[in-house]
Homo-oligomer: A and B are copies of this chain.
Amino acid sequence: VKSYQQYCAVARALDVVGDRWVLLIVRELMAFGPSRFSDLQRGLPGIASNLLAERLRSMETADLIERHEAPAPIGSQVYQLTARGRELEDVLRALTRWGMATMPTGPTDHDAVQPQWTALLAGFTVSEQVPDDTELVLGIETSSESRAESVHVVLRPDGFEIARGLGEDPDVTLRGSARLVGGVLSGLLSPARASRMGLRVTGRRTVISELFSNRPRTGVDR
C-alpha cells in the first residue's frame, strides 16, 4: 500500500510485509516451498486472483520471492522465497506463537481449514524437540466438513519439510478435526484429552507423548 515514511525498523518492515496477504503468501511458500500460482490460490482461500498476481509482482520487486521456469513435469513457472524472504521465518514464528493462543476457540463455521497450516505449526513448535540424528515423519489429516486432506511433515531437530499427501509410511499419523490436531501440536491440548475428544492417532503412538513430555504447558509464555 503506502509507506509509513518513518525511519524505524518496524515501520520499514511493515512497509514491505504489512500489506494484506503478503505474510500469508510467505506462509504458503515456507510450508510447501516452490509453488505455482494455482497452488498458492488453493492455500489462500479468499484471495482474488488479480490481487495474488499483484502481490507476487511487488514481492518479487521487494526481493521476497523469485520467479522461475518450472522444471520438467510442469511447463509453467513457480514462485519461491529468496534468502531475504526466508529470513521472515522468525516473524512467522512469533505471529504463530501469538496467534496460537486464540486457536482453542476452534474454527468458526466459515473458517477455511488446510492441513499445511497445522503442519507448519508442528514444524515451528516441535521440530527442535526431535532427538539428534533422527528423522520423524508425521502424517496429518485434518477433516473439514466436506472432505479430508492430508500432508506429512518430515521433522528434524534443525528444521522440517512439508509435502502433500501422507507420504510413505509415516511414523505417526494424526487424524481428526483441525482443532484437535492443532491443539495437540501447539501444546494447548494434551494428547490424552484430544484422544477422548475424537482424535485418532495411528503408528508409533509413544512418539507423541515423548515429543510433548518436556514442552511448556502453554505456548504463550516465553
Contact of A99 among B5, B9, B45 (CB under 8 A): B9
Which residues of B have CB within 8 Å of A110?
A: 5
Which residues from 82 to 120 on chain A have a C-beta closer than 8 Å to any C-beta of chain B? Answer: 84, 87-88, 90-103, 106-108, 110-114, 117, 120
Closest to A45 in B: B6
Contact of A95 among B5, B7, B46, B91 (CB under 8 A): B91
* CB atoms of A96 and B7 under 8 A apart: no
Chain A binding surface SS class: helix
- From known contacts A46-B4, A94-B91, infer whether A186 and B9 are also in contact, taking CB-CB under 8 Å: yes
* CB atoms of B5 and A102 under 8 A apart: no
Number of interface residues of A (CB under 8 A): 55
Copies of this chain, whole number: 2
Closest to A178 in B: B7
* CB atoms of B46 and A5 under 8 A apart: yes
Contact of A4 among B10, B24, B90 (CB under 8 A): B24
- From known contacts A12-B102, A88-B98, infer whether A7 and B117 are also in contact, taking CB-CB under 8 Å: yes
A51 to B171, CA, bound (A): 51
A5 to B186, CA, bound (A): 20
A10 to B90, CA, bound (A): 12
Which residues from 167 to 197 on chain A have a C-beta closer than 8 Å to any C-beta of chain B? Answer: 178-179, 182, 186
Does A211 make an interface contact (CB < 8 A)? no
Which residues of B have CB within 8 Å of A13?
A: 95-96, 98-99, 102
A70 to B97, CA, bound (A): 33
Contact of A9 among B7, B14, B113, B121 (CB under 8 A): B121
Most buried by B among A8, A24, A114: A8
- From known contacts A1-B20, A6-B46, A6-B111, infer whether A99 and B222 are also in contact, taking CB-CB under 8 Å: no
Proximity string of chain A (117-150) to chain B, C-beta cutoff 8 Å, 1 when within and 0 when not = 1001100000000000000000000000000000
Question: Can you list the 3 inter-chain pairs with the closest CB atoms, starting with the nearest?
Answer: A13-B99, A9-B99, A7-B107
Q: List 27 A-B contacts (CB under 8 A).
A: A1-B20, A5-B108, A5-B110, A6-B112, A7-B106, A8-B24, A8-B114, A9-B97, A9-B102, A9-B103, A9-B117, A9-B121, A9-B186, A10-B23, A10-B24, A10-B92, A10-B95, A11-B24, A12-B99, A12-B102, A12-B103, A13-B102, A14-B24, A18-B20, A18-B23, A84-B101, A88-B98
